[in-house]
Structure 1
């Protein structure tokens, strides 16, 4: 049996209406490259009965593989499940809502043949709403500052990855999952090319402002200790400022005979210090919580059912 040339991994959530079109366009596109491909659809407990349609596609074409997770774990966990089963020499990761156009896979693949292990798709003209783009830019800027790595707002998960890259990413088993960050961390020869980005025709994005903030905090705490370093720097700065102010009070008392007064300023300073202290304790608690999550060694995802695997 000939080995699989290309695997496509797509997490499924909230996109029941586009599954048949996704399949048709993927088959048409991948067939121009090779007939030895597989399409791995990971149902992340979609409430729209997407699994039934995945079952139908698997029955129709054995190259379609279905993974049904036992509950909603989240996009990056669903991607992890798909990558764990991907056998292709090349693996494409893409969203299911058709904003990532299947036809662009040919561009990604041809560029990879130039000697690259990773080719990211750069959305030259994003077809998202103003508020979604604004939230995405803010998220990436914050992440860029705290992780001290470059984050291009026009690049997402859509790309093609050599099997050795996927195998390396699969060795990252921490519970804080961010596929794109992992892909950037592992090294290898990488590049990016402009691709066409489509407007969303089906469903709505599951990422709202609250989820973006939670994802940002999770990514920062998982991939950077900069908040802790900033806390230390801020503590030293406040201590230094306090010493300078105390010295000034001593000088005023001995040279100008002016006693220290002002209960209001004292109380404000105390409330400020207590607030700062609680914030620093909270930041430290986040890191301790992450350690607690990791030492429990719980599975990243739980599979309820698979088809054609």
Structure 2
């Protein structure tokens, strides 16, 4: 695929992001109202879109996607664990801070850029399952794991304070992750397909009414989130951003090659982790009051860097 074709695909995507950025920068939205956009995408529009994509897929296609599931698990959760160990023992960070940096280096903003970018390359129907799998890995596994390690770190720093048992924290974190629409809705859809329950076409049409709004609103929300945030150009912020948009996709390539994914699935896996860091991951860091400035800035810096890295990756892979 030529660079001109790549630019034609990406130009509308980055235009909508830029439009959202201007809306945030000129105070048409603030931190609170931008959360409303994010909530609409992550809890309503995208889950509806993914549900339709999942339930209109055959059982055999799901069975054949197990290598992709393993690849995404290793490329996201495995990448997080390696960074956590390196941050903790090589750079001597406290466990909570190491967990937050590793999370923000490993979690992509797949929910906002997956459909518009991958959909433009492969078609919206072809990318619903890969995005749904990524949503389950991130929301049901990665985020709970980072919260558990963050909590363990806090307990170690505050030995005199009473706190919940680690078992309760683990259960609550996992249940919270599974309760997120981006995790539970695709899972419900997969169960429906595997059991063989038919879904009326009318029901899919109703969900599509909101699901088809995902692409434009998600990109606009990314821009707004960038526009309302302040940037701190620190070494840590740049390191997180580079790990996210440059290193993780290359690690994913190695994993996909080792597992033997098809060429198309390899491209999808790489691009899904090549997207900028996640605003959700930055919010988790804020919750723990660890590395808030660096992680929030890394989200913005990674989004800017993706203007360069995404065209390069797509040109190379396609």
Provide the TM-score with structure 1 as the length reference. Answer: 0.26
With a CA cutoff of 8 Å and minimum separation of 6, indicate the structure with the bigger relative contact order: 2
| Higher gyration radius (CA) | 1
Provide the TM-score with structure 2 as the length reference. Answer: 0.25
